[in-house]
Amino acid sequence: MRLTMTSFFPKALETIAETRVSVRRITDFMLIPELRSIENETHSQANNTLHSDPNNEKNNASQGTSETLNMPAKDGSDIVAVNSPKKAILNNLTMKLHKNELLAIVGPVGCGKSSFCMALLQELPLVSGSMDIAQQEGRPQSALRMSYSAQSPWIFAGTIRSNILFGAPFDQERYDTVIKACELTRDLSLFPQGDETVIGEKGVTLSGGQRARVSLARAAYRDSDVYILDDPLSAVDPKVGRALFENCINGLLKDKARVLVTHQLQYIKHCENVIVLEQGQVTHTGRVDDVMREEVVVETQVDDGASIKSVKMRAKFVDVLREFAKKAPEVSEDEEAAEISRAAAEANAAAHLTTAAAAEAVSMYDDVDAPEKNLTVEEVQEGETPIKVYYDFFRLGSSPFQLILVVLSLAGAQAILVAGDFFLSKWSSQSAEEQKRSYYPTVFGIYCLATVIMTLARSFLFFHSVSESSRSIFMAMLNALLHTGIDFFHANPHGRVLNRFSKDMANCDELLPYVFFDATQIVFMLFGSVIVVCVVNAWIVIAIPFLLAGFIGLRSVYIRTSRQVKRIDSQTRSPIYSQLSETLDGLTSVRAFGAGERFMNRFVEAQESNGRAFFAYLICARWLGFRLDVLSALFIGVTAVACVAVRDTQQAAMVGLALNYVIQLSGELQWAIRQSVEAAILMVSVEPKVTFSDMSLTYPRGDGPVLKNISLEFKGGEKIGIVGRTGAGKSSLIGAIFRLVETTTGNPPHRGGISIDGIDISQIGMHDLREKMAIIPQEPFLFRGSLRFNLDPTSKHQDADIWAALEAAELKRTVEALP
């Protein structure tokens, strides 16, 4: 009764409250309108649906084309909005795209070009107007296929081939043609396993240009009706960009309808039509020659307030560069291959660190065999958790004196409980007159008060110690994560890191304190029960060693299995987080390619794999419980027989007290075994002037240096341009300055050194070093929160500084227009 009221009942109330909150959250999530429902609702409100247009089919036939994509605006009303129909992103859009045509979308940053692509993909709801599609005769409208290459290339963990095929059947001829058109042939020839090279989560083993080309190859491999390409050439150098445009966009796909978002004006002359966007409005549209004559495209691409004269000055500068290029020696094939080799070296080094999640990801596709090499599998520790782990855990939150206080409070509370039971037994054995004396109620009341005080004291001291230990572990993990090298993120997918910071930390914060408290509390209760039973009937002492031997034997058998099952449960949970995070990152691409069901099945497989491990853990607990119940029943029977045998020498009250403690002892032993095993299992969560001087850089486990013998000096106030082919090592150079590559295998990542104002950066703490530098990354990253928080996350700057930065970035008008 005491264990039930003090432990099980409060936990039951807590579980009920948490269940209500969880059910409400799940209900709210399940009631969110689905994408298709949003489309139907908005179309029905405007009385518009996607439909075939016979007139367009006739027109197309006369033009030698067979498919048309229309987006006419009606009554000058808004076309596309997000979240609220009152705030439209794109307004008054009218366009027509035929087969064999290339439509260019141009405009300044933030004008709505990517939103235009999202509208074509039906990722944004229509407020009014319609999008009409005329298909070939005999072909259902729902059969329209679209391919999409995102502005920020989405690459999932798997092989390069699986990223390109994306679940489509493998066609060797088509595949080779796409690889050649996307300028990937030489890159793949130098990768460790060619197109079977496993790339990490988000393509971390590839350079920015390689990710862009893989994303473009994925779109080109699929035989689609419309290709939506959101600025795919921005991440590659001019030479590769020209080859991609000529061989892929305007070569391999020349017979398809294509939408190209671009800032590179040299390609516009090859387009049939162009749309100029500005602040969500179409300012100019039509044939390229007509729009170019107005010079509006050029004006749109430059900064606000810039004139044609300034553009011509820039053009003159470009002519100078071209003249210089003519005089400069041409890059030889060997030198170009060497640049690709550097990229391959980065991929090879990172491939050694590629995660098990990548290997699991490729199994989703029938055409790809899971690679057997270069995988760093998440380790599953075997054997019992060392005693040092327990010691280190408590040491993080308490001093030795505090630990002694915790032990004394636990022992004191149990001693008062046992003394109170003895006193109650003595009180009940007195005569009726004697029991009425005020002495007994007074003393028993003191026992009760002392019990409450000691119970609260032991609980406070224990939970304070454990919570401080958990907090220290979290801060140590976070500090280590913020100061680790970039190779750690190559070797560990987001799901694994999230698993450590979510489930494992939840174990340390929520489950581990309660389990430890129960286990230690019951240990002292066991000592108290054994003492009481032995005092009342010494013969029971003979049976206790056999009972303990049985319990300990069962525990040793159970813990060996359950600990490993729990570790498997923890390991199989990481792919769930990785799969979910990866799918959400590329949700638009997944929908555009119709791969939603495939990714859902992959998530279900990961969930079921984890569910099987967790179910096996529960079965192990039931196996132990049944055998503990049998041992407890035998011990109770032995105790009862022993009490009957010495009935003439025992008082009835003391025999009742002994039997009561025996019954408690059997239940407490079971609970002690279970909680001690649970504590051991949960401890799995605890197992814990810039100068380049002859600098070379090698990635951990890399085959050779990525940067070789670089000696440079950047003086204060200078603007230094770093140029080179895709994969030449530009990002690696920046990574070296920020010390993203650190010693991991005992070999220094860079020979020579890098110094700033004469100070060796290797001798500066990472926090101090990075706090003094700023970077604009190749792929922008924004935090969830306000715009001000993203601009000044540490709240160190005044409003004037922030507005000055916005004005310098040409964002002041945009921010002022925000609600």
User: Mean pLDDT throughout 652-668?
Assistant: 71
Q: How confident is the model at residue 244 (pLDDT cuts 50, 70, 90)?
A: very high
E strand or H helix at 354? strand 354-355
So what's the pLDDT on residue 248? 93
Integer Rg of the chain from CA: 35
Decide the pairing of beta strands 226-230 and 257-261: parallel
Options 3.40.50.1110, 1.10.510.10, 1.10.630.10, 1.20.1560.10; CATH for 380-685 is: 1.20.1560.10
So what's the pLDDT on residue 345? 46
One-character DSSP codes across 722-785:
---STTSSHHHHHHHHTT-S--SSSS-SEEEEEEETTEEGGGS-HHHHHHT-----SS----SS
> For 751-781, how does the pLDDT look when each residue is reduced to its tens digit (9 = 90+)?
456 777 666 777 666 666 777 777 777 667 7
Which residues are CB-neighbours of 340 under 8 A, at least 6 positions away? 186, 187, 190, 725, 727
E strand or H helix at 38? helix 35-45
In this model, does residue 391 exceed pLDDT 90?
A: no
So what's the pLDDT on residue 170? 92
CA of residue 807 relative to chain centroid, distance: 34
CA-based torsion, 187, 191, 195, 200: positive or negative: negative
CA of residue 476 relative to chain centroid, distance: 20
So what's the pLDDT on residue 753? 67
If one counts every other C-beta atom within 10 angstroms of the C-beta of residue 36, the result is 9
Q: How confident is the model at residue 698 (pLDDT cuts 50, 70, 90)?
A: low
Most confident segment among 123-137, 297-311, 433-447: 433-447
So what's the pLDDT on residue 61? 33
Comparing C-alpha atoms, which of 109, 103, 75 is closest to residue 91? 75
φ/ψ (deg, to 5) at 451: -65, -45
Averaged pLDDT score across all residues of the chain: 71
E strand or H helix at 243? helix 238-244
User: Mean pLDDT throughout 317-332?
Assistant: 42
> For 350-375, how does the pLDDT look when each residue is reduced to its tens digit (9 = 90+)?
444 333 333 343 333 333 333 333 44
Kindly tell me the burial class for residue 72, based on how many C-beta atoms sit within 10 Å of its own C-beta (0-12, 13-18, 19 or more).
Answer: middle
Query: Using an 8 Å Cβ cutoff, are 222 and 166 in contact?
Result: yes
Structure tokens at 71: 């987006």
Tokens 């998440």: give the residue.
378
Tokens 């197109």: give the residue.
195
Query: Using an 8 Å Cβ cutoff, are 493 and 578 in contact?
Result: yes
In this model, does residue 287 exceed pLDDT 70?
A: yes
Query: Using an 8 Å Cβ cutoff, are 484 and 742 in contact?
Result: yes
More confident of the two residues 648 and 18: 18
Cα–Cα distance list, 225 to 40, 186, 255, 447, 549 (Å) = 23, 29, 9, 84, 74
Q: How confident is the model at residue 339 (pLDDT cuts 50, 70, 90)?
A: very low
Q: Measured at the alpha carbon of residue 386, what is the angle toward residues 381 and 392, in degrees to the nearest 5?
A: 110
E strand or H helix at 70? strand 68-70
CA of residue 66 relative to chain centroid, distance: 44
Query: Using an 8 Å Cβ cutoff, are 76 and 92 in contact?
Result: yes
Which sequence spans correspond to the domains of the chain?
35-362, 380-685, 690-781, 784-819
Q: How confident is the model at residue 709 (pLDDT cuts 50, 70, 90)?
A: low
Do 35-362 and 380-685 come out as alike in CATH topology?
no
Lowest-pLDDT range of 278-282, 597-601, 621-625, 663-667 = 663-667
Tell me the pTM.
0.59
> For 586-612, how does the pLDDT look when each residue is reduced to its tens digit (9 = 90+)?
888 888 888 888 888 888 998 999 899
More confident of the two residues 549 and 79: 549
Comparing C-alpha atoms, which of 465, 645, 498 is closest to residue 577? 498
User: Mean pLDDT throughout 487-507?
Assistant: 68
User: Mean pLDDT throughout 777-802?
Assistant: 80
More confident of the two residues 70 and 405: 405
The number of CA neighbours under 13 Å toward the Cβ of 636 is 17
E strand or H helix at 609? helix 596-645
Query: Using an 8 Å Cβ cutoff, are 409 and 454 in contact?
Result: yes
More confident of the two residues 744 and 571: 571
In this model, does residue 80 exceed pLDDT 80?
A: no
| 544: three-class secondary structure by DSSP | helix
CA of residue 231 relative to chain centroid, distance: 26
In this model, does residue 49 exceed pLDDT 60?
A: no
Comparing C-alpha atoms, which of 515, 558, 521 is closest to residue 409? 521
Alpha helices in 86-224 (DSSP H): 113-120, 160-165, 172-181, 185-190, 208-221
User: Mean pLDDT throughout 278-306?
Assistant: 63
Query: Using an 8 Å Cβ cutoff, are 396 and 465 in contact?
Result: no
Q: How confident is the model at residue 177 (pLDDT cuts 50, 70, 90)?
A: very high
In this model, does residue 227 exceed pLDDT 90?
A: yes
So what's the pLDDT on residue 362? 37
So what's the pLDDT on residue 758? 63
To the nearest 10 degrees (0 to 180), the angle between helices 512-536 and 400-428 is: 40
> Residue 58 has what DSSP assignment?
H
* Bridge partners (DSSP) listed for residue 756: 690, 759
In this model, does residue 337 exceed pLDDT 90?
A: no
E strand or H helix at 258? strand 257-261
So what's the pLDDT on residue 344? 46
Q: How confident is the model at residue 216 (pLDDT cuts 50, 70, 90)?
A: very high
So what's the pLDDT on residue 316? 45
In this model, does residue 182 exceed pLDDT 90?
A: yes
Q: How confident is the model at residue 348 (pLDDT cuts 50, 70, 90)?
A: very low
Cα–Cα distance list, 389 to 404, 478, 669, 781, 798 (Å) = 18, 19, 24, 37, 47
Lowest-pLDDT range of 270-274, 275-279, 511-515, 715-719 = 715-719
So what's the pLDDT on residue 334? 46
So what's the pLDDT on residue 382? 52
Amino acid at 11: K
So what's the pLDDT on residue 748? 47
Tokens 């008008």: give the residue.
813
User: Mean pLDDT throughout 134-150?
Assistant: 66
Lowest-pLDDT range of 1-10, 481-490, 765-774, 790-799 = 1-10
In this model, does residue 799 exceed pLDDT 80?
A: yes
In this model, does residue 332 exceed pLDDT 50?
A: no
Query: Using an 8 Å Cβ cutoff, are 427 and 444 in contact?
Result: yes
In this model, does residue 394 exceed pLDDT 90?
A: no
One-character DSSP codes across 290-327:
HHHHTTHHHHHHS-TT--HHHHHHHHHHHHHHHHHHHH
So what's the pLDDT on residue 172? 92
Percent above pLDDT 90 for the chain: 8
Cα–Cα distance list, 549 to 545, 631, 637 (Å) = 6, 11, 17
In this model, does residue 434 exceed pLDDT 50?
A: yes
E strand or H helix at 23? helix 9-30
User: Mean pLDDT throughout 513-526?
Assistant: 75
In this model, does residue 500 exceed pLDDT 60?
A: yes
Comparing C-alpha atoms, which of 242, 274, 269 is closest to residue 258? 274
More confident of the two residues 404 and 335: 404
> For 147-165, how does the pLDDT look when each residue is reduced to its tens digit (9 = 90+)?
999 988 898 888 899 999 9
Q: How confident is the model at residue 79 (pLDDT cuts 50, 70, 90)?
A: very low
Lowest-pLDDT range of 423-427, 467-471, 617-621 = 423-427
User: Mean pLDDT throughout 2-10?
Assistant: 64
Structure tokens at 705: 């240096």
More confident of the two residues 77 and 190: 190
More confident of the two residues 431 and 114: 114
E strand or H helix at 103? strand 102-106
What's the rounded Cα separation, in Å, for the pair 405 and 241?
A: 71
Q: Note the CATH number of domain 690-781.
A: 3.40.50.300
Alpha helices in 302-438 (DSSP H): 308-327, 333-351, 356-362, 387-395, 400-428, 432-435
One-character DSSP codes across 675-728:
HHHHHHHHGGGT---EEEEEEEE--TT-SS-SEEEEEEEE-TT-------STTS
What's the rounded Cα separation, in Å, for the pair 367 and 354?
A: 20
More confident of the two residues 55 and 716: 716
The second-level CATH assignment, the architecture, of 35-362 is 3-Layer(aba) Sandwich (3.40)
E strand or H helix at 759? strand 759-760
Which residues are CB-neighbours of 735 under 8 A, at least 6 positions away? 486, 741
What's the rounded Cα separation, in Å, for the pair 123 and 169?
A: 26
User: Mean pLDDT throughout 618-633?
Assistant: 83
So what's the pLDDT on residue 501? 74
Query: Using an 8 Å Cβ cutoff, are 112 and 276 in contact?
Result: no
So what's the pLDDT on residue 66? 43
Q: How confident is the model at residue 43 (pLDDT cuts 50, 70, 90)?
A: very low
E strand or H helix at 756? strand 750-756
> Residue 366 has what DSSP assignment?
T
Comparing C-alpha atoms, which of 441, 463, 460, 440 is closest to residue 452? 460
